[in-house]
Structure 1
Amino acid sequence: MMEERNETENITDILITKEKLDAQAAIDKVSSEYCGANSIFIGTTRDIQNGRHILKLEYEGYELMAKKEMLKICDKMRKSWPEIKHIVMWHRLGSVPVKEASVIIAVSSPHRIDSMSATQQCMDTLKAVVPIWKQEVYTDGTKEWKENKECGWNKENSEALKTENNAHAQCSNTS
Structure 2
Amino acid sequence: MTTTLNSVIKPRTEDSFAITFAPLSLEEIYAKADDPANGAVVVMSGMVRNQTDGQPVVALEYQAYEPMALRVFYQIAADIRSSWSDVKRVVIYHRTGRLQVGEISVLVAVGCPHRGEAFAACQYAIDTLKHNAPIWKKEWYDGLNGQLSSTWVSINACEQSTP
**TM-score normalised to structure 2 length:** 0.84
Number of equivalent positions: 144
Do the aligned residues in 1 keep the contact of 2:90 with 2:108 (CA within 8 Å)?
A: yes
> 2: distance between equivalents of 1:32 and 1:61?
30
> What SS does structure 2 have at the residue aligned with 1:146?
strand
| 1:59–1:96 CA distance, 2 compared to 1 (3 A) | same
User: Residue type matched to 2:17 in 1?
Assistant: I
Q: SS of the counterpart of 1:84? A: coil
2:21 aligned partner = 18
Return the structure number with greater helix share. Answer: 1
Partner AA of 1:100 in structure 2 = E
Q: Which runs of 5+ in 1 are unaligned?
A: 1-8, 153-175
CA–CA distance in 2 between the matches of 1:135 and 1:48? Answer: 13
Tell me the SS of whatever aligns to 1:35.
coil
1:30-109 aligned at under 5 Å gives the runs 30-109=33-112
Q: After superposition, give the CA deviation of every residue in 1:79-136 in whole Å (9 maximum; x if it has no partner).
A: 1100000111000011111111110000000000111000000000001110000110
Q: Which has the larger radius of gyration?
A: 1
Which amino acid is the alignment partner of residue 143 of structure 1?
A: S
Correspondence for 2:121 among 118, 121, 124: 118
In 1: Cα distance, 2:73 partner to 2:32 partner: 17
CA RMSD in angstroms comes to 1.5
Work out whether residues 127 and 159 of structure 2, in 8 Å CA contact, stay in contact via their aligned partners in 1.
no
**Aligned counterpart for 1:145 among listed residues 148, 152, 156:** 152
Counterparts of 2:13 and 2:68 in 1: how far apart (Å)? 23
Displacement of 1:139 in angstroms is: 2.1
Deviation at 1:150, TM superposition (A): 3.4
Corresponding position of 1:167: none
Q: Structure 2: any 5+ residue segments left out of the alignment?
A: 1-11
Q: Distance in 1 between matches of 2:84 and 2:138?
A: 33
In structure 1, distance between residues paired with 2:23 and 2:60: 13
- Residues 90 and 105 in structure 1, CA contact (< 8 A), matched pair in contact too: yes
| Amino acid in the other structure paired with 2:55 | R
- What is the match of residue 161 of structure 1? none
Percentage of matched positions with identical amino acids: 33
Does residue 135 of the first structure (1) align with residue 138 of the second (2)? Answer: yes
The amino acid across from 1:69 in the alignment is: V
**Counterpart AA for 1:118:** A
